[in-house]
Structure 1
Amino acid sequence: MKISGVDIRPGNILEYEKGIWKVAKIQHTQPGKGGAYMQVEMKNLQDGRKTNVRFRSADTVERVRLDTKDFQFLYAEGEDLVFMDNDTYEQITLPGDLLGDARPFLQDGMQVALELWDEKPISVELPAQIEATIVEADAVVKGQTASSSYKPAILDNGVRIMVPPHIGSGTRIIVDVYEQAYVGKAG
C-alpha cells in the first residue's frame, strides 16, 4: 500500500531502496522557503543499518504489512535464541541481536510475536510490560521529596532502571520493556 511521505508514522514498516525498514522517529519540518518535508529515522530490519531520509509530500513509499505469528521462547544457545511455533511445535533459531535493547527482558517460556516478511522472521516483539524483581536499590536520601525523585535500582536481569524511593530490594515490580522504565508494583 503506497502512502505519502508526510503520512509516515513511528512504527510503520516501509519498503525503501529494496530493503525493509522500521520507522523509529519522525520530525515534520516546514522551512521558510520551499515545501514541507518529513525527516524520518529508520532502521533496516534485515541488517540493522540506520538511516535518515527526507520525504516530501509528493514522495510516495510502500508501506509493508508483516505477518505476525505467536511463538514461545525456549532457550538461548550461545548468542542465538530458540523459539517454538505455538501451532506446529516447530523450533526456529534466531540471532539474539534481533531483539535489540529488549534482549535482557526475554524470559524462559515467554510468549512472543515474531514478525515475518516473505516467511522469514525479521523482528521479535516481547510483551510491552513484564514483572521483575529488584536485586539492588540505593538507600533513600533523607529530605528527598517522594513526588519527583527517583533512585537507581538493578533488576534480576541486570538492567538498571530508576524507581521511586519507597521501592527496595526484593520488591516485584512491573517494567515497561521498550522504555526500560518503572510502571508500578506487581500485584
Structure 2
Amino acid sequence: MINAQDIKNGTCIRMDGRLYFCVEFLHVKPGKGNTFMRTKLKDVVDGRVLERRFNIGEKLEDVRVERRPFQYLYTDGDDDIFMNNETFEQMPIKTVLKITYTEPGLKGDTATNTLKPATVETGAEVRVPLFINEGELIEVDTRDGSYIGRVKA
C-alpha cells in the first residue's frame, strides 16, 4: 500500500479490480479545502485513460511490475506465442497456475456467476468461481490476471 501523495509517473496501482499506470499527476493545494492529487491513469489492458482525484493520505494498492523484452513469434489457433529475448523461453498469453490458498469450495455451486479471491503460486490474487478449491490448477489470462478455466491434471 502506498499513500496517494507518493504516486508518480509510471506507478502501477490496482483499483476496482483493474491495473492502471499513472501517466500524469499534479499535487493540488487549493486556497480553501484539503490538498489532493489529480491523476491521469491508463488501464493496462485496454489502454483507456481516466482522470481520478485522490485525497492526501488515501491508501492505494501498488503493484510491482517487472518489464521484460518479448518478441511476437506467431499465432497458433487462438494463442499468440511470444519469446522472452533474454531467456529465449516461448510463452502464450495464457498460463497454468496452482492455487495455494482459497476458501473451501461449494460442490455443485456452478449456477451462479459469483467469484471469490484465490492466491496462486506466484502470490497474485485471482478471482475464481466458488467451486474451485485449494491445490487445483487453473488457467489465467496474463494480460489482465483473470480466470479462464480449470485445468485437469
Which residue is equivalent to 2:53? Answer: 54
Where do residues 31-42 of structure 1 align in structure 2 (5 Å cutoff)? 31-42=30-41
Deviation for aligned residue 1:39: 0.2
Name structure 2 gaps, 5 residues minimum.
94-122, 125-139, 145-153
User: Quick one: distance in 1 between partners of 2:52 and 2:15?
Assistant: 10
User: Quick one: distance in 2 between partners of 1:48 and 1:71?
Assistant: 19
Query: Over residues 15-74 of structure 1, what are the superposed CA-to-partner deviations in whole Å (9 max), with x where a residue is unaligned?
Result: 011110000000111000011111010011022221111111121101100244443344
Which structure dedicates a bigger proportion of its chain to helix?
1
2:89 counterpart letter in structure 1: Y
Which residue is equivalent to 1:175? Answer: none
Query: Over residues 63-102 of structure 1, what are the superposed CA-to-partner deviations in whole Å (9 max), with x where a residue is unaligned?
Result: 10024444334479xxx97531343532546xxxxxxxxx
Which residue is equivalent to 2:107? Answer: none
Q: Helix, strand or coil: the match of 2:5? A: helix
Q: Helix, strand or coil: the match of 2:47? A: coil
Is 1:90 the counterpart of 2:119? The answer is no
Which residue is equivalent to 2:29? Answer: 30
Structure showing greater radius of gyration is 1
Q: Is the 8 A contact 2:28 2:35 kept in 1?
A: yes
Which residue is equivalent to 2:10? Answer: 11
Which residue is equivalent to 2:62? Answer: 63
Where do residues 55-134 of structure 1 align in structure 2 (5 Å cutoff)? 55-74=54-73, 83-86=82-85, 87=87, 89-92=89-92, 120-121=142-143
Q: Is the 8 A contact 2:45 2:143 kept in 1?
A: no
Query: Over residues 145-165 of structure 1, what are the superposed CA-to-partner deviations in whole Å (9 max), with x where a residue is unaligned?
Result: xxxxxxxxxxxxxxxxxxxxx
Q: Helix, strand or coil: the match of 1:31? A: coil
Q: Helix, strand or coil: the match of 1:46? A: coil
> Which structure is richer in relative contact order (CA contacts within 8 A, separation 6 or more)?
2
1:6 counterpart letter in structure 2: Q
1:22 counterpart letter in structure 2: F
2:6 counterpart letter in structure 1: D
Compute the TM-score of the two structures, normalised by the length of structure 1: 0.43
Q: Helix, strand or coil: the match of 1:32? A: coil
1:47 counterpart letter in structure 2: D
1:8 counterpart letter in structure 2: I
Q: Is the 8 A contact 2:81 2:90 kept in 1?
A: no
Compute the TM-score of the two structures, normalised by the length of structure 2: 0.52
1:51 counterpart letter in structure 2: L
1:89 counterpart letter in structure 2: E
Which residue is equivalent to 1:97? Answer: none
Number of residue equivalences: 97
Name structure 1 gaps, 5 residues minimum.
94-116, 123-187
